[in-house]
Structures are given as structure tokens and as C-alpha cells.
Amino acid sequence: MTTDLNTLLTTLHVKIDDHLAGRRRMGRPPKLTDAELVTLAVAQALLGFTSEARRLRFLPARMLGPFPYLSGQSGYNRRLRAALLQVKQAIRRPAADTDLWTDTTWIVDSTPVECGRSRPTVKRSELAGWAKYSYCRSHSRWFWGLRLHLVCTPAGLPIAWALADAKIGEREVLMAICDQIGRSRVPSEQLPTSAP
């Protein structure tokens, strides 16, 4: 088994390119194709880059061969926001090809995502319509924010996630996630148009 990054990205690029082959773009073709853009985004997630500056320093030095053109930060971010659906599908497609995806046992958990502590922060925050006060039993404290729900297999493969109002019960959120998963549990050729 090879652990070469370029081999992994080439394989991933071929798989993504096959999936996006039917899409047509109007106008002049871009220097960085949609398949290359999605491959770079998935590679950024796989390599654990949380900083755009770090990604921009790393890629030209080590991956110029597979990607002859690398756009700047603003152009990359603009195109990446427009291609979010393709990125979700590209991340989900390799997972759906593994035998872990068909595991019949799932683990469900949630954790609070605290968005603010002080009363002035709560009043002026743009999350005021989304975040709510709720009690976290595992931490024995109140928090103001949202709740992150995760569904995964016992091996740790994430199946779905949701960021929900902290006041909504875990069962209600889980039922909504399961409804979404039920619609998306189709053969890998027909992956859903929206992923949770």
C-alpha cells in the first residue's frame, strides 16, 4: 500500500472527475476545473488545514504537478462556496464505498456548542435567533448556544451530523437526521443532492 499524497489525490481526483463528468459550465472553461477544486477542498480537510494561509503555503510547494493552476485565496473561497454541494458529495462518496457505511449499529451523541457567556454578548450576537439557553447534564451547567448532534458507526465513521437549537430535544433532532439519512441511503451512483 502506498502512502504517497500525490497518489491519493490523483485517485481522489479521478473518482471526483468521474462523478462530475456530466456537469456543463457556461462560458469560458476555468483554469482550475470543478473536479480539481473539489479535490483540493477534500485534500485540505484530509490534511487538517484549518488556516487558509497554511494551505496556500503548503500546496504550491508540494502539489504543483497534479494541479497546474492554483487560484488565490479569494477566488478559491468564492468558487468553493458555490461548490459546497459537490464537496459534501465528494466526502460522502468514498465513505459510502466502504463496508463501514452499511454497519447496522450506529452511535448517537450530542455536545453543546457554547456561543457566548456574558449577557451583553447574548444581546448583540447575530446568533440571537438561533442560539438558546439550555442545560448540559454532562457538564452540570447552563450554556447559551447550539447543540451539535453526531451519528457515527462504532468504528468512528461519521454518517450524519446536525447543528440544532439547544432547546430542541435530542430525539426530535435524531428523527429529523434519520429521515434525511433514509432519503440518502441509495446506491453510490445516486447520492443525495443534499447531505446533512
Mean pLDDT of successive 10-residue stretches along the chain, which has 196 residues: 68 78 66 78 75 68 60 74 78 77 86 85 80 86 90 86 87 88 51 39
- Segment (H or E) for 153: none
pLDDT at 149: 92
Give the Cα separation of 85 and 70 in Å (integer): 21
Of 78, 97, 116, which residue is a domain's last?
A: 97
Of 97, 131, 153, which residue is a domain's last?
A: 97
In this structure, which amino acid lies at residue 82?
Answer: A
pTM of the entire predicted model: 0.60
Give the Cα separation of 165 and 168 in Å (integer): 6
Find the domain containing 107 and state its range: 100-190
Whether 196 is covered by a domain: the verdict is: no
Give the Cα separation of 158 and 151 in Å (integer): 6
Q: Which three cell numbers stand for residue 23?
A: 456537469
Q: Is 195 left (phi over 0), alpha (psi -120 to 50) or beta?
A: beta
82 shares a domain with 156: no
Rg value, the chain, Cα: 20
> How many CA atoms, within 13 angstroms, populate the side-chain half-sphere of residue 107?
9
Domain count, the chain: 2
In this structure, which amino acid lies at residue 30?
Answer: P
In this structure, which amino acid lies at residue 150?
Answer: L
Pairing of strands 107-116, 132-136: unpaired
89 shares a domain with 120: no
* DSSP class of 155: T
pLDDT at 179: 86
93 shares a domain with 11: yes
122 shares a domain with 91: no
Query: Is the distance from CB of 97 to CB of 188 less than 8 angstroms?
Result: yes
